[in-house]
A = this chain, B = another copy of it.
Amino acid sequence: MVVAGRTAAKAVTVVDEIRSLGHSAQALVGDASVEADAFRFLEVASKDRTLGFVLHNAGSNRRDSILELDKDDFEQLWREHCLGGFLIGREAARRMVPQGSGTIAFTGASGSLRGRAGFAAFAAAKAGLRAVAQSMAREFGPKGIHVAHVVIDGGIDGDRLVERVPNIREQRGPGGLLNIEAIAEAYWQLHVQHRSAWTHELDLRPWAEPF
């Protein structure tokens, strides 16, 4: 398994955990929105093996009045979510189409579906990614590649959020933040779906989350 990201420490932590469970894994450092890095990630991941499952999962967000939203910040979120997703998806598809199999998944958010006030940069990036995912699904489904888009609507029970809002778990109560293993399980279930009944899009949301 290959775990790629911009921060070596994070990728290594995940790889260590996978190895501790007795599986092999490899950490790669780079930026998925840089074409050469996206190429390298998939080149390594597919070397001497079938490429089974590829996930693009970017999470940065920001809140600004549009009046103060900087051009570079607007562009940065697009690079991370939309351009990175496109490049990872394209590189994955280039290797999966010859195989005639594989799953490509993208992580979306409620911002994928609507642009709320204050979140123009994020929503533009995620809406763009969703369009890419749809276009890929329509092109590659008939070639045996399962392309899926997962709309995560809620806080994720992980280090990023908990460090930023220390008492968020108490605030939200039991099951109020998305459990990371539950998210992973949803991706896994997409991967093992029978090809006669593939899901392109699903949402994941804590039970008590308003929507």
State the CA gap A54–B87 with chains docked (Å).
Answer: 34
Q: Are A93 and B66 in contact (CB under 8 A)?
A: yes
Q: Are B131 and A115 in contact (CB under 8 A)?
A: yes
**Chain B residue at smallest Cβ distance from A153:** B200
Interface residue stretch chosen among A11-19, A22-30, A40-48, A190-198: A190-198
- Nearest Cβ in chain B — how far from A46, in angstroms? 15
- Chain A at the B interface: SS class: helix
Q: Are B135 and A115 in contact (CB under 8 A)?
A: yes
In the complex, whether A210 has a CB less than 8 A from a CB of chain B is yes
State the CA gap A7–B146 with chains docked (Å).
Answer: 37
Q: Which residues of B contact A74 (CB under 8 A)?
A: 83, 86
Q: Are B135 and A120 in contact (CB under 8 A)?
A: yes
Q: Are A186 and B177 in contact (CB under 8 A)?
A: no
Q: Are B178 and A197 in contact (CB under 8 A)?
A: yes
**Chain B residue at smallest Cβ distance from A138:** B117
State the CA gap A204–B140 with chains docked (Å).
Answer: 16
Contact surface of A with B, Cβ cutoff 8 Å = 35, 65-67, 69, 71, 74-75, 78, 82-83, 86-87, 89-90, 93-94, 97, 111, 114-120, 123-142, 144, 146, 157, 175-179, 181-183, 185-186, 189, 193-211
16 A-B pairs, CB-CB below 8 angstroms? A66-B86, A69-B86, A86-B124, A118-B139, A123-B135, A126-B131, A127-B127, A127-B131, A142-B207, A144-B207, A146-B207, A182-B194, A185-B194, A186-B197, A197-B205, A198-B206
Beyond A65-B139, A127-B127, A142-B208, 10 extra complex contacts between A and B, CB < 8 Å: A74-B86, A86-B124, A124-B128, A124-B129, A138-B210, A141-B209, A176-B196, A186-B197, A195-B206, A199-B202
